[in-house]
Every structure is written in C-alpha cells, then in structure tokens.
Amino acid sequence: MNTLHSHDASATVTDRRAARSVTRSAGSVLGALLGLILTTASVSTSAQPVMDNPEAGQPTADTRPLPINEVRMFAEALEAIRSAYVQDIDDQTLIEYAIRGMLAGLDPHSAYLNANDYDSLQESTEGQFGGLGIEVGEEDGYIKVITPLDGSPADRAGVMAGDLIVEIDGRPLREMIVNDAIEMLRGEPGTTIDLTLMRNDESEPIDLTLTREVISVESVRHRMLEPGYAYLRIAQFRVNTGEEVVKALETLIGNNGGPLNGMVLDLRNNPGGVLEASVAVADAFLTDGQIVYTEGRMNESNETYQATASDPSQGVPLVVLINTGSASAAEIVAGALQDQGRAVIMGTRSFGKGSVQSVLPINNERALKLTTSLYFTPSGRSIQAFGIEPDISVDEALVTRSLERRGIYSERDLEGHLPGVNENSDPEPSGPRPVTSSEQIVVSDYQLNEALTLLKGWHIMQRSRR
C-alpha cells in the first residue's frame, strides 16, 4: 500500500482501488501521448519550418525506436499528478514543467523559452532590458555570476565574477532553474531587490540591496591611453559589435594621425553573446586563416569560419586582456588571436564555455534554447570547462603609484659636480616643487598597466631593429 505521509491529522492514505484508477487513466494518457508523438514525428519528417536563428538548422528525424516503457512511466507520473496533487494544475502547465526539467537536466545553458523568455533573450542580445546587469549560469545547483556588465547596478554594488547567488529576496535558490532566477533578477526599473552572495574568499554571506535600472549595454568603448597607444573595450558581443569595432579602429587610427604603436583589447568580464559577432571582431585583426569551427550532430552545426584579407587594424601590435569572467564569444576571439600568433593574451584563465546554443522554435510563441555544438580554436583546442590559458599570467590587482620622496639627490644636485653635455639645455624646473600631485595618488588597473608596459617594450624593440 502506498502511503502519503503528513505531519498533521489530515494525512490521506491512497488505497489500491485509487492506484488502479490512476493506472487505467494513465493507459488512456499513454495512448494519447503515443498518438501525439507519432503525429509530431510524421510532421517533422515532411515539413522543414524556417528557423528564427538561421544558424540553428532543423533537427533531422530520429530513427531510434520509441522508448515505450519510458513513455509509459511518464504517462503514469503525469496522470498521478493530475489526479492526486493537492491543487488542480492544467495540463499545459504540467507539460511545460516537464519540458523545462528535461532541458535543465542537459546542461546549464539549455533551456525552455516561453514567450517572455524569448523576448528577454532578444533584449539581452540587442540592447536594452530592465534588471541588475548580471550574466549568470548554474554551478552545483547554485546560480553563479559569470560577470556583471560594465556600469550596471550589480557592477557598482561590487558583485564579482564567480560569486554564488544563494538567495533572492530571502528565497533560497538551491536547484533553481537558471531561467527562473533570471526572471526574478529582472523587473521594473526603480524597484529594489535583496541578494545574498557567497564568495570564495569571504567566510560570511554578503547581503546587498540593489535597485533595478534599464540596462543599456554599451558594447564597444575606446580611448587613447597615451599618444600612439589605444584601448578598446568590448563589454558584450551583440549583433552589430563587429561593425562597431571596425568603426572604433578607424576613429582611433584617424585620431592618432596614422598607424598605432600598440592596442589593448579588453575582453575581461565579457560574458559572450552572438557567435557571428565574435567572428567579425577576430576578423578585424586577422587577414587569413581559420578563426573558429564548430562541431555538432546536425549538419548545420558543423561550420568553419575564415578570416578575410581586409585589415582595419593595420597590423597594430595587440595585447588581449582576459579573466575568469571572459566567456563564450570572448574566448573565441582570444583563442583565435592566440593560435594565429596575432596577439599576446594576458590576465587569468577564462571561464571555459565552449558550447554554442541555437534557438529552435517549437511553435509561434515557444522555443528551445539548445546546446547544438561545441566550438574549437584554429589549433583544434576545445575550451569547454577549461578556458583560455593566458600567455602571460597577471592577477587582477590595484596599483598605487608611490609618492615622490624628499631628500633624494642626483649627481646634478652635488656642489661642484662636473657639468653634463646637455645640462644647460635641460634646466632645472623653476618654482617650488609640489609635495604630491593628483597623478601621483591615482589608483589604476594593474593588468592594463602591465599590458601597456608590454606594448611599449614591444615598440622599443621594433624601433631599434629598423
């Protein structure tokens, strides 16, 4: 006899007669399910609907025999829930729950998308949405921060790549589906949300209260670090990121009055994005050879992407910065430039997301975001669960420039010193010397400083060989 246990006097015992009734009902549900599955299989072999994602392709019909026993078990579980669960839940909701669970069991990046989920996905790859600006994934049943987006509420509050979100508004997130957590993080601009985080180097949970904002992702930013040395930051790979990078290169080279001495390409805390955008960015720095290739079970998932001959970067010496928040499309760019010997990769090991997701519509309003292929760098490396190892490992840190010390003398300060050849043409600055200046107390980006120093040394060596 099957017994449902409870902690109060209202516990209910399910007798054999009820169990037989559920079994008979499950038989009818099984027949309906088999008919639906066979009908769907027949339609899938005769129709090839156009995919919203042109790279996704259409899955081919599976010729393996239908797992009747497993389908029967699912039908029995479905009918048991329909007839015995404490609340009445409509069949559509139950089926959606089942599909969500099936996708969640595959990997952290596959998911079932209802109409709202699909709209959210479009927003995140095309520009604006309301929320905190956090890219998240799943790890050991918890929601893990891949990276906060530049300038977002999460970034300003100090949320860091690698943090585990254990509670949202007091609700524990253990074993929560990633899409459900994302839905909780997003909301109307101006509303607040409480997060509880766990961090590797902190013994106690971190409690934060953040205010949601309209997140407008600025994909590409650029500036001159010093005359001849440029900085190019890519925060996320969106549909037009490749075009934005080419325009930024033209602007930087034009403002410099000619070819640059060096450039830092900053891909730190870049969660990835659109595959084709990463290919376009890598192509802006490469003139030939392979950029990336993908392998999957569908023919459409096996793609090879090659560089074109144009070179908007004009061969500028390049250092690429990565860290544990650099994922997916960012790793494609770093891996291609590393394998082709086009750039020095500096920083810390990247996140290690080496899979490609395609959106497969299953009707007009719902779709599957499904992992359909793995990608490989030009040398054949799969970075899945490993990441890109930098050529020069530099930990993230802050650099404080030391104050100039008083009482330090040079030869020219000694009375009666022999005058130098150029001493008269390089007079001592007149006026009192300030004890400190604003530049001397600047706290700056250590990895960026190291990249700039490397580029300067690179330029000096090239110049001396001419």
Q: Which residues are catalytic?
A: 328, 339, 353
Encoding tokens for residue 22?
A: 């559920």
140: left (phi over 0), alpha (psi -120 to 50) or beta: left
Phi and psi angles of residue 339, each rounded to the nearest 5 degrees, phi first: -65, -35
Kind and range of the H or E run holding 146: strand 142-148
Distance CA 170, CA 194 (A): 7
- Helix ranges, 258-371 (H): 275-283, 329-339
- Name, in order, each residue with C-beta under 8 angstroms of 268's C-beta and a sequence gap of 6 or more: 321, 322, 323, 325, 326, 347, 447
- Beta carbons within 8 Å of 353's beta carbon, 6+ residues apart: 109, 137, 146, 272, 327, 328, 331, 383, 384
CA distance 321 to 446: 11
Phi and psi at 69, nearest 5°, equal: -60, -40
Q: Specify burial of residue 442 (Cβ count, 10 A radius: 0-12, 13-18, 19+).
A: exposed
Neighbouring residues of 297: CB distance < 8 A, sequence distance ≥ 6 = 372
Compute how many other C-beta atoms are within 10 angstroms of the C-beta atom of residue 408: 7
SS3 (DSSP) at 87: coil
Token pair of 50, please? 């156009």
CB atoms under 10 Å from CB of 427, counted, come to 7
Residue 180, CA atoms < 13 Å, CB-side half-sphere: 14
The count of other CB atoms within 10 Å of the CB of residue 76 is 17
Do 224 and 134 contact (CB within 8 A), yes or no? no
The H or E element spanning position 400 is: strand 398-400
Neighbours of 354 (CB within 10 A): 25
The rounded distance, in Å, linking the Cα atoms of 31 and 337 is 55
Residue 34: helix, strand or coil by DSSP?
helix
